[in-house]
Amino acid sequence: MRQEELIGWLRRIKKLALVEVGKDEEEHITKDMRKIIEFFNTLMEINVEGIEPLFMTPRKEPLTREDAPVKGMEQSEALLNAKEVINGFVKGPKTI
């Protein structure tokens, strides 16, 4: 994938995720994106013919955790990184 394509994808992701990334960070992030894509391309080369897909790894007992309530984040803390806040709510982009 060309660098221009990666930058285009990064800009789309930034817009959808409502995050700001400086020009200096774009090069670092696109290098990481390229490594991820190369890794998945390597996985695509593996011959899996005749291998049944696994949807869960077999275990004797399922992994579980205790379902206990925990203190959540305060509203003020949750809104710290919001681009725009109106009456205590995050304002997001208009969607159709």
b/e burial code for range 36-67 (CB count within 10 A of at least 16 → b): eeeeeeeeeeeeeeeeeeeeeeeeeeeeeeee
Residue 20: the pLDDT is: 87
Q: pTM for this structure?
A: 0.54
CA distance 25 to 35: 16
Cβ within 8 Å of residue 82, ≥6 positions away: 90, 91
User: In the predicted model, what is the mean pLDDT of residues 80-93?
Assistant: 91
Hey, which residues does 86 pair with through a beta bridge?
A: 89
Residue 19 CA: distances (Å) to CA of 1, 7, 10, 62, 89: 23, 15, 11, 37, 17
User: In the predicted model, what is the mean pLDDT of residues 57-72?
Assistant: 84
CA 32, 34, 37 angle in degrees (round to 5)? 110
